[in-house]
């Protein structure tokens, strides 16, 4: 396996990781990324196959379970019940309970609310230049997920701050300060949710938390720890990736002067510049795949951003083509961990981008946006535009 070195915090890489992915693809279906000390898959077929291969998974094998330092006890206690970090049968049980509550009826019913929220935010846009992430892209997902869960919109800023701090745990180059912030945010988030869970146990409402409390799978219900952890997963996953998807999409649409949004256009935007670029898998048994041998306890990374620009899967892959046909992109993953929130994210993106382009026909970038150094997250920290 060819070894390649590329710092994930390097400024040029953060701005444009795609040339590195092209180089990596030329190195073979799998390459060894020395900075991560891990084998990585870059091709669409390979990433898709690894994500679906049941001989690998998200949960660390027992002998590789991480030692949990005291200063991260709450964070890991929360992660221990997160379906994203579990494998069957625990994963199947949690995922079924969530899917039972996260119905397409509940999601589609949100369309008028999402549209009204987008219009309200657009009406508040200032004259002159402003940050579209703060004024729009950061607002829509968190307010919608808060409403869906029956949490007050007035706490949206707290939810954003907790979630940002927790997500810092998955960033390249994380520091002790980031770890302390993640731990404090987890504690505050859990305390906050414990109050709402207790309240909704007493007086259920028409919201996702109440549905999750009521949901039963073969006679089994979620424990309070599982409920809180699931709510945190949905809140974190539910806004961070969608914020970056919206920001990345607006940049492409403005640069390409494309203002008609439909479902295939949203998929093409998510293919071309997805917000999450890497997910890893643990190997559970000695195996050979794509000509390489792996032992139980090894890890393989799937580079979703690279798979989405594989010329074997997509003709002229660096080009934006809203009418593109081709295999499903890897932006939402594949296999048993395929994004639970994909229908909600797609709906939010379609409505938020359509509203923006229809109501702000003169929307323009006022400076070239810069990606924040958050790899494997891929999104801007600000997006300065002029709307009128």
Interface residues toward ligand HEM, by CB under 6 A: 51, 58, 83-84, 95, 145, 233-234, 237-238, 241-242, 245, 274-276, 279, 331-333, 337, 339-341, 344-345
Closest separation in Å from C-beta 52 to ligand HEM: 10
Rg of the chain over CA atoms, in angstroms? Answer: 21
CA max distance for the chain: 61
Please name which of 387, 337, 376 lies closest in space to residue 58, comparing C-alpha atoms. 337
Q: Which of 58/155 has CB closer to ligand HEM?
A: 58
- The smaller minimum CB distance to ligand HEM, of residues 51 and 197, is found at 51
Rounded CA-CA distance 142/131 in Å is 17
Measured from the CB of residue 331, what is the shortest distance to ligand HEM in angstroms?
5
Least CB distance to ligand HEM at residue 245 (A)? 4
CA angle at residue 60 from 56 to 61, to 5 degrees? Answer: 80
On whether the CB atoms of residues 227 and 215 are closer than 8 A, the answer is: no
Question: At closest approach, how far in Å is the CB of 95 from ligand HEM?
Answer: 5
Q: How many residues does this entry show for the chain?
A: 388
- DSSP for 253-301 reads HHHHT-----HHHHHHHHHHS-SB-EEEEEE-S-EEETTEEE-TT-EEE
For ligand HEM, give the closer residue by CB, 130 or 369.
Answer: 369
Q: How far is the CB of 255 from ligand HEM (least distance, A)?
A: 20
Q: Considering beta carbons, is residue 59 or 130 the nearer one to ligand HEM?
A: 59
Cα 288 from chain centroid?
30
Q: Are 267 and 325 in contact (CB under 8 A)?
A: no
Instruction: Look up tokens 């690894």; give the residue.
Output: 50
- For the CB of residue 53, give the shortest distance to ligand HEM in the complex, in Å: 12
- Residue 301 tokens, joined: 């990374």
Ranked by CB distance to ligand HEM, the top (closest) residue is 341
Q: Which is nearer to ligand HEM, 302 or 387 (CB)?
A: 302
> Which C-beta is closer to ligand HEM: that of 145 or that of 166?
145
């Amino acid at each position: 396996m060819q070894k390649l070195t590329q710092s994930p915090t390097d400024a040029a890489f953060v701005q444009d990781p795609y040339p590195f992915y092209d180089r990596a693809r030329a190195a073979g279906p799998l390459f060894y990324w020395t900075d991560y000390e891990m084998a990585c898959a870059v091709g669409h077929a390979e990433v898709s196959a690894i994500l679906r291969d049941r001989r690998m998974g998200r949960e660390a094998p027992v002998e590789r379970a991480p030692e949990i330092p005291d200063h991260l006890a709450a964070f890991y206690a929360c992660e221990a019940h997160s379906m994203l970090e579990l494998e069957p049968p625990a994963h199947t049980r949690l995922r079924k309970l969530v899917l039972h509550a996260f119905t397409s009826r509940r999601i589609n019913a949100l369309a008028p609310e999402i549209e009204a929220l987008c219009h309200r935010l657009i009406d508040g846009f200032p004259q002159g230049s402003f940050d579209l992430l703060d004024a729009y892209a950061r607002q829509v997902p968190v307010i919608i997920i808060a409403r869906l869960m029956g949490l007050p919109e007035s706490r949206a800023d707290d939810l954003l701050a907790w979630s940002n701090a927790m997500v810092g745990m998955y960033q390249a180059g994380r520091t002790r300060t980031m770890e302390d912030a993640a731990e404090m945010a987890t504690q505050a988030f859990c305390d906050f949710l414990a109050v709402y869970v207790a309240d909704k146990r007493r007086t259920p409402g028409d919201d996702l938390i109440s549905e999750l409390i009521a949901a039963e799978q073969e006679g089994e219900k979620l424990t309070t720890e599982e409920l809180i952890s699931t709510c945190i997963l949905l809140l974190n996953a539910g806004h961070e990736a969608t914020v970056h998807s919206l920001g990345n999409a607006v940049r492409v649409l403005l640069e390409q002067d494309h203002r008609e949004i439909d479902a295939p256009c949203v998929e093409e935007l998510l293919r071309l510049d997805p917000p999450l670029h890497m997910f890893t898998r643990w190997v559970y048994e000695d195996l050979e795949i794509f000509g390489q041998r792996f032992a139980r306890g090894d890890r393989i990374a799937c580079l979703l951003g690279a798979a989405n620009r594989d010329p074997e899967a997509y003709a002229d892959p660096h080009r934006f083509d809203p009418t593109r046909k081709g295999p499903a992109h890897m932006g939402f993953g594949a296999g048993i961990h395929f994004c639970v929130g994909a229908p909600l994210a797609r709906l939010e993106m379609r409505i938020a981008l359509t509203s923006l382009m229809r109501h702000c026909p003169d929307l323009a970038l006022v400076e070239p946006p810069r990606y924040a150094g958050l790899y494997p997250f891929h999104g801007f920290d600000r997006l300065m535009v002029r709307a009128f």
